[in-house]
Amino acid sequence: MHRRKTPPTPCFDEIIHAPHRLRLCVLLSPVESAAFATLRDELDLADSVLSKHLKVLSEAGYVTLDRPVGQGGRPRTWVRITDAGRAALAGHLAALHELSEAAALSQPPGSRA
């Protein structure tokens, strides 16, 4: 027996909306966690810029940061999106989808945007 997944409630989220934070959440959503260096390289950001965006997401409760100790070598920081972060991302994407549908409906037939 499968439970039906209820669609997310559209909710524009100012925290997630910043382009780098939106991309971070999207990158994190399909994985259990990702290394800081992987996110930095994927987004082509400086460490300081990525740290700043992760701090905002962490303070909102949307991601957690884990720095395991005892592995030898340099400690790696792992980033994981939380359930609250997944819900906020889903709501934000649903709100963006509504906006794009409204924009498409407002275009005269045959016009180019």
pLDDT value of residue 74: 74
pLDDT value of residue 70: 62
Residue from 9, 11, 22 nearest 53 by CA: 22
Q: Is the pLDDT of residue 64 over 90?
A: yes
Percent of the chain whose pLDDT exceeds 70: 87
Task: Name residues whose C-beta falls within 8 Å of residue 84's C-beta, 6 or more positions apart in sequence.
Answer: 60, 61, 62
**What tokens were used for 97?**
């989808």
First to last CA, the chain: 45
Q: What element of type H or E holds 69?
A: none
Q: Is the pLDDT of residue 53 over 80?
A: yes
Average pLDDT rounded to a whole number, residues 101-106: 82
Average pLDDT rounded to a whole number, residues 26-32: 97
User: What is the pLDDT confidence band of residue 108, given thresholds at 50, 70 and 90?
Assistant: low
Strands 63-66 and 78-81: antiparallel
- What is d(CA 20, CA 55) in angstroms, rounded to the nearest whole number? 12
pTM: 0.83
* Number of residues that make up the chain: 113
Between residues 106 and 84, the one the model is more confident about: 84
